[in-house]
């Protein structure tokens, strides 16, 4: 998916006049019941391990992908050949220092044709663990560490893990309804889901933040800037938008916190009623929780049904493609897939590019599909 990465936001620490739940004695809370201990633990700092595990998993998958790619064996032109089978495709074919598109397809990249006609729905999830190159991988993993670890410390591995994976799925789903001619890979949809979750968490837990307006404005500016970068060519902004919307709704469901006053009154100094609250959650929190859950279920269900039917959203929205790329005098948004007509005559391979009509002759006996693809990319660039 997109090479650009979301940025971090610094939100002020939670402050208030009520007794903070973590000031209560841990042993007495454990003794009072597991429910009480869990409610208080929501305000404690978790030790992050899942997000670092996700980073390691993405790096391992990239190494495996490069091993499968094996550029020296399958392509004529490679970069950093001293790396052996881990060397990169030529910059003309992949400017991000990574594998060929054919290898990414084999490893599980999002390819709408195979999802719809090949019943390969699993590609909606596997694509978020693949990356197009070293630069793509580094940008996303640095962003994941900066944003994800902070969120996992606040809310724990289970909720943030679900938020990450489901948001990535949502980004892939929206992308597959709009971008159907190219493959898509990357964790950007899931990363934007974390940004969306941060925004909804700020809204639903509004009363426990200090300097909340400044935090909201800062977060909105970061989100707008990152989405604006998505209008550049070769960036899947639909995955960004789908991931953000999914994460925004999931934040209302997963990241809701009880009121400080309610927790303090129930589990700490119960004699001081001035800090108390009658209800665990405010009414607006419950309303947002219900509405968001309904929208998530309805949206995912409708999206999957439309995808299975081969729905092309661009045919019903003439302007939506501008959400992902805005053409200017500096660049073009033409993303048509190029291909070449090939003819093998003995040891000679003849290629003709379909997009510009260029003709090339190569001495290459028994050329593989990867070699032909690499030569075609160079010929058509």
Whole-number Å distance between alpha carbons of 163 and 147: 13
3-state helix, strand, coil in the chain (%, to 5): 60, 5, 35
Burial 261-288 (b: 16+ CB within 10 A, else e): bbbbbbbbeeeeeebbbeeebbeebeeb
C-alpha 223, offset from chain centre: 14
Residue 240 a catalytic site member: yes
Backbone dihedral region for residue 315 (phi beyond 0: left; psi -120 to 50: alpha; all else: beta):
alpha
Whole-number Å distance between alpha carbons of 168 and 191: 8
C-alpha 287, offset from chain centre: 27
Burial 333-349 (b: 16+ CB within 10 A, else e): eeeeeeebebeeeeeeb
- Of 143, 184, 188, 264, the active-site residue reads 188
198-202, long-range: CB < 8 A, 24+ apart? 198/9, 198/11, 198/147, 198/151, 198/251, 199/223, 199/248, 199/251, 200/247, 200/248, 200/249, 200/250, 200/251, 200/252, 200/255, 200/288, 200/292, 201/155, 201/251, 201/255, 202/11
Whole-number Å distance between alpha carbons of 223 and 218: 9
Work out the angle at residue 157's Cα, subtended by the Cα atoms of residues 226 and 11, and round it to the nearest 5 degrees.
Answer: 45
Of 295, 301, 287, the closest CA to residue 196 belongs to 295
CB count within 10 Å of CB 320 equals 13
- Of 143, 240, 370, 378, the active-site residue reads 240
Backbone dihedral region for residue 130 (phi beyond 0: left; psi -120 to 50: alpha; all else: beta):
beta
Residue 316 a catalytic site member: no
Are the C-beta atoms of residues 243 and 168 closer than 8 Å to each other? yes
Of 235, 101, 106, the closest CA to residue 171 belongs to 235
Active site (catalytic) residues: 188, 240
């Amino acid at each position: 998916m997109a090479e650009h990465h979301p940025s971090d936001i610094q939100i002020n620490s939670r402050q208030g006049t009520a007794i903070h739940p973590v000031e209560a004695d841990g042993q007495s809370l454990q003794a009072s019941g597991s429910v009480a201990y869990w409610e208080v633990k929501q305000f404690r700092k978790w030790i992050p391990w899942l997000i670092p595990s996700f980073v390691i998993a993405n790096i391992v998958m990239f190494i495996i992908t490069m091993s499968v790619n094996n550029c020296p064996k399958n392509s004529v032109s490679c970069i950093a050949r001293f790396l052996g089978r881990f060397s990169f495709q030529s910059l003309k074919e992949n400017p991000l220092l990574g594998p060929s598109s054919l290898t990414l397809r084999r490893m599980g990249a999002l390819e709408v044709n195979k999802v719809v006609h090949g019943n390969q729905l699993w590609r909606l999830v596997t694509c978020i663990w693949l990356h197009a190159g070293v630069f793509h991988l580094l940008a996303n993993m640095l962003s994941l560490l900066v944003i994800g670890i902070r969120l996992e410390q606040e809310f724990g591995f289970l909720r943030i893990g679900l938020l990450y994976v489901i948001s990535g799925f949502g980004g892939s789903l929206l992308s597959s309804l709009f971008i159907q001619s190219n493959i898509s890979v990357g964790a950007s949809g899931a990363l934007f889901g974390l940004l969306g979750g941060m925004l909804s968490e700020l809204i639903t837990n509004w009363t426990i933040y200090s300097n909340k307006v400044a935090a909201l404005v800062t977060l909105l500016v970061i989100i707008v800037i990152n989405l604006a970068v998505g209008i550049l060519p070769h960036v899947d902004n639909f995955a960004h938008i789908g991931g953000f919307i999914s994460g925004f709704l999931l934040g209302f469901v997963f990241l809701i916190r009880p009121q400080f006053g309610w927790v303090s009154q129930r589990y700490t100094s119960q004699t001081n009623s001035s800090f108390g609250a009658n209800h665990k959650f405010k009414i607006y929190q419950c309303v947002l929780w219900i509405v968001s859950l309904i929208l998530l279920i309805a949206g995912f269900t409708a999206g999957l049904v439309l995808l299975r039917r081969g729905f092309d959203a661009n045919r019903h929205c003439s302007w939506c493609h501008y959400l992902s790329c805005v053409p200017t005098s500096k660049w073009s948004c033409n993303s048509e897939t190029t291909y070449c007509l090939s003819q093998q005559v003995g040891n000679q391979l003849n290629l003709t590019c379909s997009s510009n009509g260029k003709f090339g002759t190569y001495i290459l006996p028994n050329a593989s599909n990867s070699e032909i693809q690499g030569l075609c990319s160079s010929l058509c660039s």
